[in-house]
Amino acid sequence: MPDLRVLLQDNPGKRVLLLGNEAIARGILEAGISIVTTYPGTPASEIGDSISAIAAEAGLYMEYSTNEIVATEVAGGAANCGVRALTAMKHVGLNVASDFVMTLAYAGVRGGYVIVTADDPECYSSQNEQDNRFYALLSNLPCLEPSDPQEAKDMTISAIEISEKLELPVLLRTTTRISHTRGPVVYGRLKKSNLKGEFIKDVKRLVMVPANSRPKHPVLLRSMEKAKEISETSPYNTVVLEGKNKEFGLISSSSAYNYAVEAADLLGLDADVLKLGMTHPLPEKIIGQFLKRHGKIIVVEELEPYLEMQIKAIAKDYAPNVEIYGKMIKPYFPRDGELSTRIVVTGLAKITGKKLPIDFGKIDEKFGEAARNLPPRPPILCVGCPHRASLYVMKKVAGEKAVYSTDIGCYALGAAPPLSAGDIMTCMGASIGTAEGISKVTDADTFALIGDSTFFHAGIPGLINAVYNNHKVVVAVLDNLTTAMTGHQPHPGTGTTGMHTSTEKVSIEKVAEGCGVKYVKVVDPFKVKEAEATLKEALKHSGPSVIVFRSPCALMVVRERRRKGAKIVVCKITDKCTDCMTCIKLLGCPALIFEDGKVGINEALCVACGLCASVCPYNAIECEETD
């Protein structure tokens, strides 16, 4: 959607095609949420980005916070002044924020506060596929789960109302297939934002020292009892389909609900379907009555058996003889990966003994033949990406024996051949601490590769640790001046805010110096020789060192050139070329091609970064400086 201002139209009843995340942004405007904080992460990014695009006009405040815990602290602080707030993050972001959120549940909030967690079954853009519904159980916070963009919008508003009724933060849990599905959304009325709050001092409520937090725990548990009443009467927890077949009853939520209904339809199952939209706390009575009405219950849910476990516990009191099918004891549905109509219809057929209407085996066999030996096409570093240059330089200087501890960001793509500069990667900021452990117990040269946004997010404590405990690691900050992977959001080093105002640029090199690092250098990765010399020096340094490889993201450079109408003089291969393949084999740049036995340049792709010219052993590639 190029013009997000469509989100600002105050015309209730209008039907618009919105991405799930854009629908949440619309929900923010209809709920009168006035402060929105986020750290970008797929599949949550478009929530913050949509709000960033319209915040000033809508009269609300939006910020890209340094990381998810800071984002929840800022929003939680504002919510405790009575202002409606929302924080959006990807699922693993909630791990970062959880320290604050777990105890905020004790203190509570005065203004409505919604925490959006966007889970990523199938790990499309993530390092794991954890099921964050368990955070609702763990923290005793209510949780809503939309199944489509319309519900994503509506539940944002409901979540705020529930939050204010209970004075508790509320989790709104989406998945990739909710956040990144477009569907029709019918607008409601916009609500005016209100950014003016009042901090009311209340030590017993807000200062979570043991004497105060101890009595807050039973208060929280009592709130959960109230939340249960809300869940029992929630319009989101209802039997949505009544079938003629009363033998089976289906219970489902979120994305899984969509597959379940379509799969049941394909099989002609004609069973009752109980849809759960408020999944913490569960509506025990509604579920109990549903169990009583059916001999067999099928629970269809994505990832962990979160519903199934609790439904089995409810069954013990309400309908001890009911048979419950799901994924716990006999796995009719998988516990890993995302579901699909195919997976669900296959599971349902097995449970009900009905014949599958589609011969998937035959399709697989035929497809297997057609797709045999198909070359993979994984995501790769873009043409002109400065990370390619930085990683090339590191590999050239330190070679295969060095250990490259890498981090979350585009540069993680450099773990793939031919650069193969990524030996271990776990979560945001982990590159530095992990490298320290490796360097302590091995003789290898140890690098920590970390992006600019990731450095601010969670890299700094690791760096301080390197100084304090004198770990000999080279921290390579791959600074492309943006948060590239998630869609070019600004960060503390960019000098721009989520409100599109100018601000102080936090300098990575000064932060490093301030942390006490004695060897700090900034290099341009495309000046290959200089970068090599600096890196060699850093490796000789006795303690931790920091090298900032600074060059803007190639996508931003190309966009800027296009905007200015600048002409790009692409690299040229001269007749000195011996087709030795060095450039292709070292760099894996998509603009370098091999056709009819000759190395060539794809002129439509080349952005004249000149890296290939730097690595050519025969000086056979010419590249002019393009400004």
CA 458, 459, 460, 462 dihedral sign is positive
Q: Which is nearer to another protein, 217 or 598 (CB)?
A: 598
Residue 56: Cβ within 10 Å count? 13
The 376-405 site mask, x for binding another protein (CB under 8 A), equals: xxxxxxx-----------------------
The 34-53 site mask, x for binding another protein (CB under 8 A), equals: --------xx-xx-------
Q: Does 17 bind another protein (CB under 8 A)?
A: yes
CA 482, 484, 490, 493 dihedral sign is negative
CA distances from 18 to 175, 428, 456 (A): 16, 30, 32
Closest approach of another protein to the CB of residue 188, in Å: 18
Closest approach of another protein to the CB of residue 113, in Å: 26
Q: Does 5 bind another protein (CB under 8 A)?
A: no
Residue 320: Cβ within 10 Å count? 8
Task: Enter the tokens of residue 395.
Answer: 């590999």
Q: Does 184 bind another protein (CB under 8 A)?
A: yes
Q: Which is nearer to another protein, 239 or 522 (CB)?
A: 239
- The residues, any chain, with a CB within 8 Å of residue 189's CB and separated by 6 or more, are 10, 12, 30
**What gap in Å lies between CA 24 and CA 174, rounded to an integer?**
10
Out of 77, 98, 103, 125, the only residue in the binding site for another protein (CB under 8 A) is: 125
Out of 364, 560, 603, 624, the only residue in the binding site for another protein (CB under 8 A) is: 364
Q: Which is nearer to another protein, 66 or 258 (CB)?
A: 258
Q: Which is nearer to another protein, 61 or 259 (CB)?
A: 259
Closest approach of another protein to the CB of residue 593, in Å: 6
CA distances from 302 to 120, 176, 299, 309 (A): 10, 12, 10, 13
Q: Which is nearer to another protein, 124 or 618 (CB)?
A: 124
Q: Does 358 bind another protein (CB under 8 A)?
A: yes
- Which residues, 52 to 111, sit near another protein by CB under 8 A? none
Residue 573 β-bridge partners:
621
Given a contact cutoff of 8 angstroms between Cβ atoms, the answer to whether 453 and 409 are in contact is yes
> Kind and range of the H or E element at 324?
strand 323-325
Residue 271 β-bridge partners:
245
**What gap in Å lies between CA 611 and CA 620, rounded to an integer?**
12
Q: Does 365 bind another protein (CB under 8 A)?
A: no
**What gap in Å lies between CA 353 and CA 332, rounded to an integer?**
12
Q: Which is nearer to another protein, 103 or 125 (CB)?
A: 125
The 581-610 site mask, x for binding another protein (CB under 8 A), equals: x--xx--xxx-xxx---------x------
Q: Which is nearer to another protein, 328 or 356 (CB)?
A: 356
Q: Does 264 bind another protein (CB under 8 A)?
A: no
The 409-448 site mask, x for binding another protein (CB under 8 A), equals: -x--x---xx------------------------------
Q: Which is nearer to another protein, 148 or 304 (CB)?
A: 148
Q: Which is nearer to another protein, 552 or 590 (CB)?
A: 590
CA 70, 73, 79, 85 dihedral sign is positive
Given a contact cutoff of 8 angstroms between Cβ atoms, the answer to whether 421 and 404 are in contact is yes
**What gap in Å lies between CA 531 and CA 528, rounded to an integer?**
5
Closest approach of another protein to the CB of residue 460, in Å: 25
SS3 273: strand
**What gap in Å lies between CA 357 and CA 352, rounded to an integer?**
13
Q: Which is nearer to another protein, 46 or 167 (CB)?
A: 46
Question: Burial level of 155, CB count in 10 A (0-12/13-18/19+)?
Answer: buried
Residues that bind another protein (CB under 8 A): 1-2, 15-17, 42-43, 45-46, 124-125, 147-148, 176-177, 180-184, 255, 257-259, 261-262, 265, 340-342, 358, 360, 363-364, 366-367, 369-371, 374-382, 410, 413, 417-418, 485-487, 581, 584-585, 588-590, 592-594, 604
